[in-house]
Structure 1
Amino acid sequence: MHSLSQIDTWVFDLDNTLYPSDCDLWPKIDQRITLFLAHLFGLDGMSSRALQKYYYERYGTTLRGLMEEHEIGAEEFLDFTHDIDRSSLLPNLALATAITALPGRKLILTNGSREHAFRTAEALGIEAMFEDIFDIAAADFVPKPQAATYERFFERHMVDPARSVMFEDLARNLIVPHERGMTTVLVVPKPGQMDHRDAFEITSEVVPPHIDYITSDLALFLMGLILDTPGEADT
């Protein structure tokens, strides 16, 4: 188990991490991706959905699959799929307070677009707490969990992995960070909470060795660190 006392850089995934898994944001994006493929290829809904999941599982994002196999440009895809209603998101005062109190730098590392990350953080009332957003364009459209994405992130923001922690909802996206020396925190749904992720994305009951901490309440976890109380900071 890693200690968090040496951390000076706090890195957060966006979707299903900074907001809870039962939020309707990701299903809205997911549906927009299906619709984009349906329009692009003239497919029915079921065929479009199947193609979307094929790209996602093989390439890490549907966009990467489209770029690799069809040379589709990113801007149109990102603009269309992230054009969603965020009114269901409410400011999260507890999370804002906890992130503000963290000592050091705070960054967002997402496979989504910069605009989507900013607008989502803004809806949560936490956009001002982050130094910067490292999005899929900054990663040259190579998504997590590819090692090149993390290396670009470390280099661009001069991040020392040994003094950094990453919060993620997908266990596979924490493998490389752990290998590079980052402390890793997996954010999971609360018991009984709806989980909109695909089945292959959900971690089994056995905690993988590259996960240092697990929490189902990010704000409580962070406040526990600030107040130096265990609580949700334990796996």
Structure 2
Amino acid sequence: MPSLNDKIDTWIFDLDNTLYSADSGIFQQVHDLMGKFVSKHLNVEIKKAKEIQRKYYKQHGTTLRGMMDNHGVDPEYFLKEVHKLDYSIVDSNKKLNEEIKKLKGRKIVYTNANLQHALDVLDRIELSNFFDNIFDIKMANYIPKPDLQPYKQIIKDFNLNPSTSAMFDDIAKNLVPAKKVGFTSIWIDVGYENFSDDIKASKEYLDFKTKDLSVFLEKVNRRNI
């Protein structure tokens, strides 16, 4: 059986909680800003706003999509407001960066966030020069993972061969459509953002699971996987 390094020529990475530590606190900032946005826009208390935020994330894939579909929110305004972040708390992972740089082939970031957020994060974690493309929520027509349509779109936009493409994500359910379109799927289980029923429903679509992306990529680069 060939190693992943011999089989894969395109590596697709989720951004948040995947290319940097989930313990950094950056995504908590996003969650807090989303809660404040929902509270202000819908004129509800923050506790109620958090409930709505969680419901929309569960039902629509992102809070943004729920706010768009149910309340006609302008996506660009929403994204601008919820990404007013302090990026100084995000640190680069030298070991992870080294292993990403060693990977042969094209490297793509696929995020439910916007392009500017992706650029800011990649700059902060010192990976700006090592990714060939970014597929953001705008390129996905504001349709978030795990909807199947943007996975088909990224294949079309970047002329990908699914059978030689691998996708990494910290959200298990986001890898279900990845596997359905033919990608090799790798779940980074960081202990956040996953509902137990989603994990159970996703298991048969996960080719690999790891708690440490840098260790996994080291094995890939050594052809141990």
More helix per residue: 1 or 2? 2
Distance change (3 Å), C-alpha of 1:188 and 1:71? same
Instruction: Say if 1:2 and 1:212, in contact at 8 Å, map to a contact too.
Output: no
Task: State the match for 2:90 in structure 1.
Answer: 89
Quote how far apart the aligned CAs of 1:209 are. 1.4
Quote how far apart the aligned CAs of 1:201 are. 7.7
Larger deviation: 13-22 or 149-158?
A: 13-22
Task: State the match for 1:154 in structure 2.
Answer: 155
Q: Secondary structure at the match of 2:88?
A: coil
Distance change (3 Å), C-alpha of 1:158 and 1:170? same
Rounded to whole Å, the distance in 1 between the matches of 2:198 and 2:89 is: 24
Q: How does 1:75-224 map to 2 (within 5 A)?
A: 75-189=76-190, 195-197=191-193, 199-200=195-196, 203=199, 208-224=203-219
Instruction: Say if 1:22 and 1:196, in contact at 8 Å, map to a contact too.
Output: no
Instruction: Say if 1:26 and 1:196, in contact at 8 Å, map to a contact too.
Output: no
Aligned length: 224
Distance change (3 Å), C-alpha of 1:201 and 1:133? farther
Matching residue's letter, 2:193: R
Instruction: Say if 2:61 and 2:146, in contact at 8 Å, map to a contact too.
Output: yes
Distance change (3 Å), C-alpha of 1:199 and 1:210? closer
Distance change (3 Å), C-alpha of 1:65 and 1:56? same
Distance change (3 Å), C-alpha of 1:207 and 1:120? same
Uncovered stretches (5+) of structure 1, i.e. residues with no partner: 190-194
TM-score (norm 2): 0.93
Distance change (3 Å), C-alpha of 1:161 and 1:56? same
Quote how far apart the aligned CAs of 1:197 are. 2.2
Q: Secondary structure at the match of 1:209?
A: helix
Task: State the match for 1:43 in structure 2.
Answer: 44
Rounded to whole Å, the distance in 2 between the matches of 1:130 and 1:137 is: 18
Task: State the match for 1:26 in structure 2.
Answer: 27
Distance change (3 Å), C-alpha of 1:112 and 1:46? same
TM-score (norm 1): 0.90
Instruction: Say if 2:30 and 2:85, in contact at 8 Å, map to a contact too.
Output: yes
Task: State the match for 1:11 in structure 2.
Answer: 12
Rounded to whole Å, the distance in 1 between the matches of 2:30 and 2:75 is: 15
Instruction: Say if 1:174 and 1:211, in contact at 8 Å, map to a contact too.
Output: yes
Instruction: Say if 2:171 and 2:193, in contact at 8 Å, map to a contact too.
Output: no
Task: State the match for 1:192 in structure 2.
Answer: none
Quote how far apart the aligned CAs of 1:23 are. 2.0
